[in-house]
Structure 1
Amino acid sequence: MTATAGQREPIRLVNLTLGYDRHPAVHHLEGEIAPGAALAVCGPNGAGKSTLLKALAGVLKPLGGRIERGGGSARDVAYLPQLVDIDRAFPINVRDFVAMGAMRRIGLFGRLGAQERERAERAIARVGLTGLEDRAIETLSGGQMQRVLFARLIMQDQPVILLDEPFGAIDEATTDDLLSLIAQWREEGRTVVAVLHELELARRAFAQTLLLARERIAWGETREALCPENLARARAMSEAYDRQARECLRDEETAHVH
């Protein structure tokens, strides 16, 4: 990554409620993500972690509250969904898949010039996949595919990077290499928000953690956020979740409720 400046203003979550079919998955979340932060989002299964990331990426519209981006927009975000959400059967090779990260700059039907092709080659080299440029993505191992996805993030060149479970089912060497890349992004002033199940990785590589269990349990320095008491509370909150909870009212509806 080269040209894009880092995030200049905090991303603020203001009374943010998220969900599907108007049933809440994340309730009344408040907090801010500072420019250049390394924030892990942790919590039990079903805690709303991926839902929050989708909202930050602009993929999911809030049921209530808002996300304030300090003059930026969802277009300033590079988003890596979970590996299981990627259609690896699509007939495309590594080089072309990585080059798709330039689409926002060149447009959907834009021509990929020599400069962008060179950027793609550098991104592939940076994740350690030189020599695999012509391989079909469906032939790659899980670790190789995750490296390809990180190379595409490099091509996107955005100030805010969102990662949904980036270290699931990959080997230790790949994890270490991708953590090194995240550290480089931090040095460049980029903001990294990652959904993690691996608490030790959060403690190792992320200074800040949001512990989520459909609502904010803790948000702050990682060691404190992931203390035993907070983890126990998060588990209890998740186990007590009522799947028959009433629908959320939208902001304009709550104005008429007394």
Structure 2
Amino acid sequence: MVSASPVVALHNLTVSYRQHPALHHITGSFAPGSLTAVAGPNGSGKSTLLKSIVGLLPIEGGRSGGALTVSLPRERIAYLPQVAEIDRSFPISVRDCVLLGCWGSAGAWGGVTQAMQGKIDAALHAVGLEGFERRTIGSLSSGQMQRVMFARMLAQDARLILLDEPFNAVDAKTTAALLALVRQWHQEGRTVIAVLHDDALVRQHFPQTLLLARELVGWGATREVLTEPNLRRARAMAEAWDEDAGLCSVDAPAVQKVAA
């Protein structure tokens, strides 16, 4: 029996921010329907990896054939950035924000169908925000805003879901509700990749883990990756980072460069 092709494949991927390496030669893949936590010390390249996958960082091929490939079109990918990156001053209602999840099917000039309206109602119900439809997103708490963003992803109906610190700055009740949606996506066979900093939460809810410290420390079953030796190694690598280090040599594989 031939195994399914990976949804995301990394081959010797290297990413640099402002001429400084953020990820070094990462190789591996995310299988269809997998539920993976991306863990590691602060500044270890976790968010950079997600932004690379979603296409927010330009990729420049290298001589050694380094690459990042995604088997899905952009409209089948849902990306949740960190809370701090979301502009909540924009005057948009909760309902319209969730409706943006239908952009891939409606397009710039398409109308909102009755089926889409039903999908929005169902998404708001799933996250417990009935009655919030006309509220502006700027009036919401952090937990309520995360519920809105999860509702938007429900409306999008994506096959690959990327979450960057989705439970940061939210209370335990909201975390439990959002984790239930993550489990639902996993049961539906969607591929979920989440950047997390809570090791206990990772061990309890995520069967696969990618442990980064700018380099690959471990990737596989969570119980085999989140071991004390691996965590100590990741911390030691983080403490040894040279922020003044230059780019990898010209013989290094694909480098993604981000403009300052």
Cα pair distance change 1:94/1:76, threshold 3 Å: same
CA contact (8 A) 2:210 2:225 kept: yes
Distance apart, 1:77 and its partner CA: 1.1
SS of residue paired to 1:241 = coil
Map residues 68-83 of structure 1 onto 2, 5 A cutoff: 68-69=69-70, 71-83=71-83
Range that drifts further, 198-207 or 102-111: 102-111
1:9 and 2:5 equivalent?
A: yes
Distance in 2 between residues matched to 1:236 and 1:62, nearest whole Å: 29
Gaps of 5+ in 1: 1-7
The root-mean-square deviation of aligned C-alpha atoms, in Å, is: 1.8
SS of residue paired to 2:13 = strand
Distance apart, 1:67 and its partner CA: 1.4
Distance in 2 between residues matched to 1:107 and 1:74, nearest whole Å: 13
Map residues 56-205 of structure 1 onto 2, 5 A cutoff: 56-63=53-60, 64=62, 65-69=66-70, 71-205=71-205
Gaps of 5+ in 2: 255-260
Q: What's 1:53 paired with?
A: 50
Cα pair distance change 1:46/1:98, threshold 3 Å: same
> What is the identity, as a one-letter code, of the residue corresponding to 1:18?
V
Q: What's 1:23 paired with?
A: 20
Cα pair distance change 1:49/1:126, threshold 3 Å: same
CA deviation profile, 1:185-204 (whole Å, cap 9, x unmatched): 01110000000011111111
| TM-score normalised according to structure 2 size | 0.90
Cα pair distance change 1:164/1:250, threshold 3 Å: farther
Distance in 2 between residues matched to 1:94 and 1:34, nearest whole Å: 33
Distance in 1 between residues matched to 2:69 and 2:56, nearest whole Å: 15
> What is the identity, as a one-letter code, of the residue corresponding to 1:67?
L
Cα pair distance change 1:91/1:250, threshold 3 Å: farther
1:213 and 2:209 equivalent?
A: no
1:42 and 2:39 equivalent?
A: yes
**Identity %, equivalent residues:** 51
Cα pair distance change 1:140/1:219, threshold 3 Å: same
Distance apart, 1:249 and its partner CA: 5.4
CA deviation profile, 1:156-200 (whole Å, cap 9, x unmatched): 111100000000011111111111111110111000000001111
| TM-score normalised according to structure 1 size | 0.90
Cα pair distance change 1:211/1:134, threshold 3 Å: same
SS of residue paired to 2:158 = coil
> What is the identity, as a one-letter code, of the residue corresponding to 1:193?
I
> What is the identity, as a one-letter code, of the residue corresponding to 2:84?
V
Distance apart, 1:131 and its partner CA: 1.0
Q: What's 2:226 paired with?
A: 226
CA contact (8 A) 1:19 1:51 kept: no
Q: What's 1:4 paired with?
A: none
Distance apart, 1:75 and its partner CA: 3.7
Distance apart, 1:137 and its partner CA: 0.8
After the TM superposition, which parts of structure 1 deviate over 3 Å for at least 4 consecutive aligned residues?
248-254
Distance apart, 1:250 and its partner CA: 6.4
CA contact (8 A) 2:123 2:154 kept: yes
> What is the identity, as a one-letter code, of the residue corresponding to 2:45?
G
Q: What's 2:257 paired with?
A: none
Distance in 2 between residues matched to 1:127 and 1:185, nearest whole Å: 14
Select the structure with the greater relative contact order (CA < 8 A; seq sep ≥ 6).
Answer: 2
